[in-house]
Amino acid sequence: MADLTKKSLTEIVSLIKKKEIKSEEVTNLFIKNIENDKKLNSFITNSNEHAVKKAKNFDKNPKFDTLLPGIPIAVKDLFCTKGVKTTAGSKMLDNFIPNYESTITKNLWNEGAFLLGKLNCDEYAMGSSNETSFFGNVMNPVAENTVPGGSSGGSASALAADLTPTTIGTDTGGSIRQPASFTGTVGLKPTYGLCSRWGIVAFASSLDQAGPMTKTVEDCALMLEAMAGFDEKDSTSINKKKENYSKNLTSNIKGLKIGIPKEYRVDGMPKEIDKLWENGKKILKESGAEIIDISLPNTKYALPTYYIVAPAEASSNLARYDGVKYGFRSNKGTNLIEMYENTRSEGFGDEVKRRILIGTYVLSSGYYDAYYIKAQKVRQLIKSDFDESFKKVDAILTPSTPSAAFKIGEKKNDPISMYLNDIFTVPVNLAGIPAISIPAGTDNNNYPLGLQLIGKTLDEQKLLNIAFATEKKINFKQNLNRWWEK
């Protein structure tokens, strides 16, 4: 079964359940692929031994009535994993080994999965190209020297390169959907509060949400089912009954109404993206859905709003990394203040510092009302735009990103152009609603492009169904020359 690692998660689960393959074989095949990760740099920590041990245990005493029986999974290095180094892509946590397990990873392990490794990401999830990681750039399997997107860049890269059968990321402004789009994979940002934030290194608490990154929509439904659930340890967690997303998945979307927001047609957007969008509309129509033009008038304010709210929360969330309790501490300085200054100067990278500065500024006395309060008001307007639209439509179709993957270094010194990458993904986080990116085509370079489907609060099932139907008709085929293995 040489091509097993190319198979979907659902297929691998099925093979294990049918006892056609053992967990240990699956695990070893992925570990073999991970040996070729050097050029991709998608892993920060390998958990090979742990994974093989867990796989053997599973095979000795298999339980098949779980969602992820005997499945090895590498996860973004933002999820705290008990006994395994958790860095958040930062020098600040280079030596940090939590003695606790995040709720989301615990949920996965409870469904029969086990840890395969920790995946590279932008430092504290701040970035759109995985170029801000202390552990180096991650390359996109699609093409050498191309970024995988960010911040869940390591996750997207490892998944696309068949180094893990599925993975999880976090999405604060597009950090799951944009890298999914750049790597020809599926990524879902669930409704805020559907997946617990407990044990995930925080970036911006009111926006952060964990979600699955997978090869297929079916896999995505399966993973979400395993991840989602109420957690009393997270006060913003939604208390609702678990849903069987994978069992209820259907491609019958007849009669559903799909909105097309005119504001997502931005100046200078490549023609291929426009074509992709048109194709998406066509496919949905063919599947029996109705296409309706809608307006989300406050879309243009989403990015500036996001770049006030997210840094404000980050500036406070990252105050705990002060060298006192855990993590990196500079040995320079002779008093507390100097220890803080040196620790934080040496421990944080430029992008993190930039956002802490922006966040501190917008919360400062005298600026708070003009920036933070205003941004909160605009955030409400953006949410109202969606609420209004969802009175008319079941879901909204947009491109996932305004471009395909770009070259490493291309935008590194131009933060604004980097931030513009998130222009289609950010409004969803501000509104707290779910959205999924699915691969839908390629650009001139043959780099993947994604389409985004946006749903209303807790309407993940419908969103997955529409994505499932679209995926079938688009029939996107990942075509990698596997340059990193050479």
Partner 1 sequence: MVGKVMNKEKGKYLIEGEKGKWEVVIGLEVHAQVSSNSKLFSGSSTKFGADPNTQVSLVDSAFPGMLPVINEFCVQQAIKTGLGLNAKINSYSVFDRKNYFYADLPQGYQISQYKNPIVGEGKITLDLPSGTKTIGIERLHLEQDAGKSIHDLDPSNTYVDLNRSGVALMEIVSKPDLSSPDEVNAYIKKLRSIMRYLGTCDGNMQEGSLRADVNVSVRKEGNKELGTRCEIKNVNSIKFMQMAIIYEAQRQVELLESGKSIDQETRLFDTKKNETRSMRSKEDAHDYRYFPDPDLLPLNLNKELIENIKKNLPELPDQKKERFINNYSLTAYEANVLVSEKEISDYFEEVVKTSDIKLAKNWIMGDLFASLNEKNISISQSRVTAKKMSQLIDSISSGVISGRTAKEVFEIMKESGEEPDKIIESKGLQQKSDPKELEKIIEKILTDNKDKVEQYKSGKDKLFGFFVGQVMKISGGKANPQLVNQILKDKLKK
Q: How far is the CB of 337 from partner 1 (least distance, A)?
A: 8
According to the binding rule CB under 8 A, does residue 378 interact with partner 1?
no
428 belongs to the binding site for partner 1 (CB under 8 A): no
Indicate the burial class of 234 (C-beta count within 10 angstroms; 0-12, 13-18, 19 or more).
middle
325 in catalytic set: no
d(C-alpha 222, C-alpha 330), whole Å: 44
Tell me which residue has tokens 């209004």. Answer: 388
Burial 75-85, CB ≥16 within 10 A → b, else e: bbbbbbbbebb
CA–CA separation, 394 vs 433, rounded Å?
A: 13
198 binds partner 1 (CB under 8 A): yes
**Two structure tokens written together for 428:** 């969803």
Catalytic residue among 102, 133, 151, 152: 151
330 is an interface residue for partner 1 by CB under 8 A: no
Segment lying near partner 1 (by CB under 8 A), choices 130-138, 145-153, 346-354, 362-370: 362-370
CB of 141 to partner 1, least distance (A): 29
Given the complex with partner 1, which of 77 and 422 has the nearer CB atom? Answer: 77
- Exactly one of 204, 220, 428, 458 binds partner 1 (CB under 8 A); that residue is 204
Sole window of 141-149, 172-180, 202-210, 463-471 interacting with partner 1 (rule: CB under 8 A): 202-210
Q: Which amino acid is at 166?
A: T
Choice from 75, 201, 378, 431 touching partner 1 (CB under 8 A)? 201
**Which of the ranges 148-156, 307-315, 404-412, 472-480 carries the binding residues for partner 1, by CB under 8 A?**
307-315
Phi, psi torsion values for 337, nearest 5 degrees: -60, -45
Is 411 catalytic? The answer is no
165: Cβ contacts below 8 Å, ≥ 6 apart: 5, 7, 8, 9, 12, 26, 30, 71, 72, 73, 215
Residue closer to partner 1, measured from CB, 118 or 197:
197
Place of tokens 């513009």: 420
Q: Residue 196: what are its φ and ψ, rounded to 5°?
A: -65, 145
Q: Would you count residue 363 as binding partner 1 (CB under 8 A)?
A: yes
- Contact with partner 1 (CB under 8 A): which of 324, 409, 417, 445? 324
**Min CB(199)–partner 1 separation in Å:** 4
Amino acid (1-letter code) at residue 404: A
Q: Is 189 an active-site residue? A: no
The residue written with tokens 């993975």 in the block is: 167
**Is residue 348 a contact residue for partner 1 (CB under 8 A)?**
no
Does 357 bind partner 1 (CB under 8 A)? Our answer is no
Q: Is 46 in the site for partner 1 (CB under 8 A)?
A: no
Tokens, residue 422: 């998130």
Among residues 48, 205, 279, 478, which is the contact residue for partner 1, using CB under 8 A?
205
* Residue where the block lists tokens 């280079």: 94
Give me the least distance between CB of 87 and partner 1, in Å please: 10
Residue 320 has φ and ψ, to the nearest 5°, of -70, -15
Question: Which residue of 6, 274, 319, 338 would you call a contact of partner 1, by CB under 8 A?
Answer: 319
Tell me which amino acid residue 441 is.
Answer: G
* Residues 68-107 contacting partner 1, CB under 8 A: 80, 86, 88, 93, 96, 98, 100, 102
The residue count for binding partner 1 (CB under 8 A) is 41
Q: Count of alpha carbons within 13 Å of 128, Cβ hemisphere only?
A: 30
134-153: contacts with partner 1 (CB under 8 A): none
- The whole-angstrom separation of Cα 421 and Cα 173 is 10
In this structure, are residues 350 and 344 in contact, taking their beta carbons and an 8 Å threshold? Answer: no
Q: Which residue in the set 322, 346, 387, 410 belongs to the binding site for partner 1 (CB under 8 A)?
A: 322
The smaller minimum CB distance to partner 1, of residues 16 and 88, is found at 88
The active-site residue out of 90, 129, 175, 389 is 175
Q: Is-contact 67 111, C-beta < 8 A?
A: yes
Query: Applying CB under 8 A, does 371 fall inside the site for partner 1?
Result: no
Q: Of these, 69, 72, 199, 448, which contacts partner 1 (CB under 8 A)?
A: 199
391 CB-near residues (< 8 Å, 6+ apart): none
Instruction: Quote the radius of gyration of the chain (alpha carbons, Å).
Output: 21
**By C-alpha distance, which of 85, 89, 83, 57 is closest to 70?**
57
Our finding on whether 336 is near partner 1 (CB under 8 A) is: yes
Query: From the CB of 318, what's the least distance to partner 1, in Å?
Result: 8
C-alpha span between 128 and 201 (Å, rounded): 17
Catalytic residue among 76, 118, 412, 462: 76
Q: Which amino acid is at 58?
A: F
202 binds partner 1 (CB under 8 A): yes
230 lies in the site for partner 1, by CB under 8 A? no
Of residues 9 and 238, the one with the C-beta less far from partner 1: 238
Q: Note whether 320 binds partner 1 by CB under 8 A.
A: yes
Dihedral sign computed on CA atoms, order 340, 342, 345, 346: negative
Which residue lies nearer to partner 1 by CB, 167 or 315?
315
Question: Do 44 and 130 contact (CB within 8 A), yes or no?
Answer: no
Residues forming contacts to partner 1 in the complex (CB under 8 A) are 80, 86, 88, 93, 96, 98, 100, 102, 197-202, 204-206, 232-236, 312-313, 315-316, 318-320, 322, 324-326, 336, 340, 360, 363-365, 368, 372
Residues annotated catalytic, as ranges: 76, 151, 175
